[in-house]
């Protein structure tokens, strides 16, 4: 986590700090989850079609995501809990794809493959947005339900130097939408919760979670399926939205 950074803030902006979700908001798997899984599995003697693995992963995610932190007090999390959840998700992905389940060695390779920045791509609007927000005097953080791989990914993609801090749920000890991770992020940003804006692609985790902690929030809907005053379709819209002085919910 980075140190508090103080910059001159433009009086026209509606907040002092902006927090961003990571995967789905700032970057996405490259070329796809299915393609990365297929390549790693092939190296361990397991053949599966990338398309089948992609479909299997999406189905497995929908099945397992709602119970990711089931039984955890106040959405507590740790690297061990995250790794165990991913082990079950990978196993289910291959099962749904009609492929042989990966053993421990193969799972380790898959898990580590997604620690590599090469397995991810930044969306093209990300770095221009972060630069513009910094120039406007805002403090920036990345807050994600992620394990310890997040630090390496952000460093490799140039995000660690573009933001003031990176906070993974395993580092905070709590996952979104727990208010405790947003409180920790606001403290790192050196701002009151009411002066912090969260931007992410999950209504429940990013928007509802942030608002419950007293922060403001905007939903990033890159697919353009939703509309409204609290919805962005591109990060290029963020600074103009803040400069408009329209109320942030």
> Encoding tokens for residue 211?
């608002």
Close Cβ partners of 3 (under 8 Å, ≥ 6 residues apart)? 164, 165
Close Cβ partners of 102 (under 8 Å, ≥ 6 residues apart)? 41, 44, 46, 90, 91, 94, 110
Report the greatest alpha carbon distance in the chain.
59
Q: Give the tens place of pLDDT for each residue, 105-149.
A: 999 999 999 999 999 999 999 999 999 999 999 999 999 999 999
> Encoding tokens for residue 184?
């920790």
Q: Give the tens place of pLDDT for each residue, 144-175.
A: 999 999 999 999 999 999 999 999 999 999 99
Given a cut of 90, is residue 181 above it in pLDDT?
yes
Q: What confidence score (pLDDT) does residue 75 get?
A: 83
Three-class DSSP category at 236: helix
Give the residue from 161, 71, 156 showing the smallest Cα distance to 121: 156
Q: What confidence score (pLDDT) does residue 12 get?
A: 55
Q: What confidence score (pLDDT) does residue 71 get?
A: 67
Domain with CATH 3.40.50.1000 in the chain: 17-26+123-243
Q: Hunting for tokens 């397991």 — which residue is that?
A: 46
Q: What confidence score (pLDDT) does residue 73 get?
A: 76
- Domain 30-118, architecture per CATH: Orthogonal Bundle (1.10)
Look up the pTM and report it.
Answer: 0.92
Given a cut of 90, is residue 246 above it in pLDDT?
no
Q: Give the tens place of pLDDT for each residue, 2-35.
A: 433 334 444 557 799 999 999 999 999 999 999 9
Given a cut of 70, is residue 70 above it in pLDDT?
no
CATH of domain 17-26+123-243: 3.40.50.1000
Mean pLDDT score across all residues of the chain: 93
**To 5 degrees, how large is the angle CA 223–CA 227–CA 231?**
80
């Amino acid at each position: 986590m980075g140190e508090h950074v103080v910059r001159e803030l433009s009086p026209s902006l509606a907040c002092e700090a902006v927090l961003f979700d990571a995967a789905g908001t700032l970057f996405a798997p490259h070329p796809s989850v299915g393609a990365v899984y297929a390549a790693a599995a092939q190296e361990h003697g397991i053949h599966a079609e990338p398309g089948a693995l992609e479909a299997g992963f999406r189905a497995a995610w929908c099945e397992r995501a709602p119970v990711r932190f089931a039984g955890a007090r106040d959405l507590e999390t740790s690297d061990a809990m995250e790794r165990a959840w991913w082990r079950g998700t990978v196993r289910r992905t291959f099962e749904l794809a009609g492929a042989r389940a990966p053993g421990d060695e193969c799972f380790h390779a898959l898990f580590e493959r997604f620690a590599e920045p090469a397995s991810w791509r930044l969306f093209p609007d990300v770095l221009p947005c972060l630069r513009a927000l910094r120039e406007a005097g805002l403090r920036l953080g990345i807050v994600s339900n992620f394990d310890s791989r997040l630090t390496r990914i952000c460093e490799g993609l140039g995000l660690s130097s573009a933001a003031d801090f990176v906070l993974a749920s395993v580092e905070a000890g709590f996952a979104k939408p727990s208010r405790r991770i947003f409180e920790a992020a606001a403290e790192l940003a050196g701002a009151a919760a009411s002066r912090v804006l969260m931007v992410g692609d999950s209504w429940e985790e990013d928007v509802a979670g942030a608002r419950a902690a007293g922060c403001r929030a905007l939903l990033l809907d890159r697919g353009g399926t939703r509309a409204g005053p609290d919805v962005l379709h591109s990060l290029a819209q963020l600074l103009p939205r803040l400069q408009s002085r329209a109320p942030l919910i």
